[in-house]
Amino acid sequence: MFKINVVGNVHLFNTFLPLIKNGKSKKVVTISSGMSDGDVAAQYELFEGAPYSVSKAAMNMVNAKFQAEFKKDGIIFMGVCPGTVDTGANDNRKCSQDDSGVDLLTGASIIVAPEDMPKLMAMAGKFIKYAPHFQGPAQPVDAVRDILKVIENANMEVNGGHLVSHFGNKQWL
């Protein structure tokens, strides 16, 4: 995960920096996650998904470091969390046994390994405590619209070097 979420993006940034410096829209945006928010993880005891969360937190720091270096060039480096998006990733989830479960966020039937169900339930419970208003994942077209709006409205003072949600703030769900 670290190679994909961090190292790959650093190489991408370095490859395209000359074009970005000479471009009209000087914004570099990574897709991150509220799971990388240390305050939320500590407050809601959200220990699940550690490798993913750590790699996204590292990428957030990369954005901050690039921002510090290239602010003088007018380039905004930022991360955006799309929130929970119905990507279909769980549609064909399989396990060795034929035990059916329910996706706690979408209500859709999925197959979950019995040993994974308590972990899934515990994490869903933490999400509900964090965001009791949450109605389930967004459709991809809606998530993209929200992210593009955040990027369009991004400015150096508010967004430079920071991670924001699809709402443009720190509300992840």
More confident residue, 39 or 135: 39
CATH architecture assignment, domain 1-85+138-173: 3-Layer(aba) Sandwich (3.40)
Pairing status of strand 100-102 against strand 27-31: unpaired
Which residue type is seen at 62? V
Is the pLDDT reported for residue 97 higher than 70? Answer: no
Contacts for 16 with CB less than 8 Å, ≥ 6 apart: 28
pLDDT, tens digit (0-9, with 9 covering 90-100), for 50-72: 999 999 999 999 999 999 999 99
3-state secondary structure the chain: CHHHHHHHHHHHHHHHHHHHHHCCCCEEEEECCHHHCHHHHHHCCCCCCHHHHHHHHHHHHHHHHHHHHHHHHCCEEEEEECCCECCCCCCCCCCCCCCEEECCCCCCEEECCHHHHHHHHHHHHHHHHHCCCCCCCECHHHHHHHHHHHHHHCCHHHHCCCEEECCCCCCCC
Show which residues are catalytic.
Answer: 52, 56
Domain boundaries defined on the chain? 1-85+138-173, 88-135
| pTM across the whole model | 0.83
At 151 the pLDDT is 97
At 90 the pLDDT is 59
